Structure 1
Amino acid sequence: MRDVLFLPLYQDEELVIAADGSAAIGLKEADIVHVPYETVAYFAARVALMEVMCVGAAPLAVVLQNFVHNEVWEALCTGIRTALGELHLDLPIVGSTESNFPTLQSAVGMTVIGMVHKAQKRIGTTPSDAKFAVIGEPLVGDEVMERRDRVLPLSLFRQLLHRNDIYELVPVGSKGIFYELQGLLDDNSLQSSQCSCALPLHASSGPATSLIISFDPNGEEEIKQMARDYFFPIEITS
């Protein structure tokens, strides 16, 4: 199953909740990856936003948990708003800051709350004749900044999200392409004995730097043209 929680809301609608966490990334001396807090929040927000949007839900609000210190709140909000702007969204941001005790390393939690009509949920909608591909490349830590041109752009993600010939979209996280692909296949009662891709199947994709899609074979050429060199086919043997 996806890393999202569905809660009944109305007869035909559900709340959708997704979260992401970031630790040891920031500007504290003990941090492992040193980047501005705008960047920390941008990538944490994109993960939770993508998770919610990939299942067909409309994001409603962002909840920020700041374990750094009070002074970085606005920088974190700026990073969130950057991600929202790239997705053409304008959402309220609420949250809390740990202001009682200092921490040696930076930490941020991000939760996105959305809503979906049950009939529009994009889970278990992949037919047996679908094809699969990865868009973007799996990157983590310093790689994300050093090879940012290989990170799936949110502008491209938004375009893919609205294509009728794409059945499902699954953000790839720290467990890698193979793990997320197996979850996608299981959700659709599909079997595979072997799969291959030009990308490393077990490498961490950190803050959802890549995405798996299942799609109608008839739309492959148009999807390739849209994704350009971010497109990496997955070959699956049943």
Structure 2
Amino acid sequence: MPDNKRVRDLTLVDLGQQTLIIGCDSTGAVGPKSGDQLQVSGELLGRMIAVVPIMEVMASGALPVAIIDTLSVEMHPTGENILNGIKKSIEEAGLPLSLINGSTEENFPTSQTGMGVTVVGVAERNDLRIGSSVDGDIVYLVGKPLVGAEVLDKPRLVAGIKTLRYLLEVTEIHEILPVGSKGVDYELKLLAITAGLSFEYLLGADKVDMQKSAGPATCVLATGEREAERYLKELHLPVTPIAILKPDITF
């Protein structure tokens, strides 16, 4: 039976020379229905929620091979609009739309939107980037932690799929970790632990709300050499060096 383990927000299934990477995200009370607490279009909702697991899986070094949507709404019109948003995120990631499968709620009428997206990816063992940070790496925060209506109001501060694809091509960047609802500080600690390292905050860290939710992964942590900063500046996004990775001296 294949060995599996939980690493950060991902499930890793060891298949020998390859590893199956599974990520997911969900939301409720956000959407176009009368009972939703935050009113957004179905298309925008689908786009935002699909971004999170797509980015998490791709950041690990895996190639998505299946994207599953579980929509707690009717197919027409709400589900169809959500699917249009999911498809836009898939296309932005440079992936084929044939990866999509899923289901909707056709038995009962709903007054509030709920949905989930699961992404399954495959990586060659040597291509995995999880835990690839090294002693001396600078941890950069790219983008800003935003949540709720802020995501709609400040799109130029959001590091999305296009940002991730760019970072994956920069040789000087070792590891990329999308920040989720638990905030920058939480993800930074996980990143260091996974690499078997500790960290020291830099002066730039005091410019960031380290505890704030980043909603649908509006920012990412990128680790790498100091030379990497010049490539990050080409993104035209906020880039803040927040920590330096150091050997773990705990016993």
- Bin the TM-score by the shorter chain: over 0.9
Deviation readout 1:68-101 (Å, 9 max, x if unpaired)? 2221222122111111121211142111112222
Give, in whole Å, the separation in 2 of the partners of 1:194 and 1:149. 26
Equivalent in 34, 37, 40 of residue 32 of structure 1: 37
For 2:40, the aligned partner's letter is V
Equivalent in 221, 226, 233 of residue 241 of structure 2: 233
Partner of 1:80: 86
Deviation readout 1:163-216 (Å, 9 max, x if unpaired)? 111110000010000000000011112123545242210000000010011111
Q: Relative to structure 1, is the Cα distance of residues 120 and 201 closer, same or farther in structure 2, using a 3 angstrom cutoff?
A: same
Give percent identity, aligned residues only: 34
Partner of 2:3: none
Equivalent in 60, 66, 72 of residue 71 of structure 2: 66
Give, in whole Å, the separation in 2 of the partners of 1:198 and 1:53. 28
Equivalent in 41, 59, 65 of residue 54 of structure 1: 59
**Total equivalences in the alignment:** 236
Shift of 1:237: 8.3
Partner of 1:154: 161
Preserved CA contact (<8 Å) 2:197 2:245: no
Preserved CA contact (<8 Å) 2:136 2:244: no
Give, in whole Å, the separation in 1 of the partners of 2:19 and 2:198. 29
- Give unpaired runs (5+ residues) of structure 1: none
Give, in whole Å, the separation in 1 of the partners of 2:231 and 2:53. 28
Structure 1 window deviating more from structure 2 (136-145 vs 70-79): it is: 70-79
Give, in whole Å, the separation in 2 of the partners of 1:235 and 1:58. 29
Give, in whole Å, the separation in 2 of the partners of 1:194 and 1:222. 22
Structure 1 window deviating more from structure 2 (141-150 vs 166-175): it is: 141-150
Deviation readout 1:95-115 (Å, 9 max, x if unpaired)? 111222233311011001110
Give, in whole Å, the separation in 1 of the partners of 2:137 and 2:74. 47
Partner of 1:7: 13
Structure 1 window deviating more from structure 2 (108-117 vs 71-80): it is: 71-80
Structure 1 window deviating more from structure 2 (20-29 vs 82-91): it is: 82-91
What is the correspondence of 1:79-118 to structure 2 with a 5 Å cutoff?
A: 79-91=85-97, 92-118=99-125
Partner of 1:176: 183
Preserved CA contact (<8 Å) 1:197 1:235: no
For 2:8, the aligned partner's letter is R
Give, in whole Å, the separation in 2 of the partners of 1:6 and 1:235. 27
- Give unpaired runs (5+ residues) of structure 2: 1-6, 247-251
Partner of 2:4: none
Partner of 1:142: 149
Partner of 2:222: 213
SS of 2:197's equivalent in the other structure is coil
Tell me the TM-score normalized by structure 2: 0.89
Give, in whole Å, the separation in 2 of the partners of 1:233 and 1:78. 36
Give, in whole Å, the separation in 2 of the partners of 1:76 and 1:191. 41
For 2:237, the aligned partner's letter is D
SS of 1:83's equivalent in the other structure is helix
Tell me the TM-score normalized by structure 1: 0.93
Root-mean-square deviation (CA), in Å? 1.6
SS of 1:192's equivalent in the other structure is strand
Q: Relative to structure 1, is the Cα distance of residues 149 and 222 closer, same or farther in structure 2, using a 3 angstrom cutoff?
A: closer
Preserved CA contact (<8 Å) 1:54 1:161: yes
SS of 1:202's equivalent in the other structure is coil
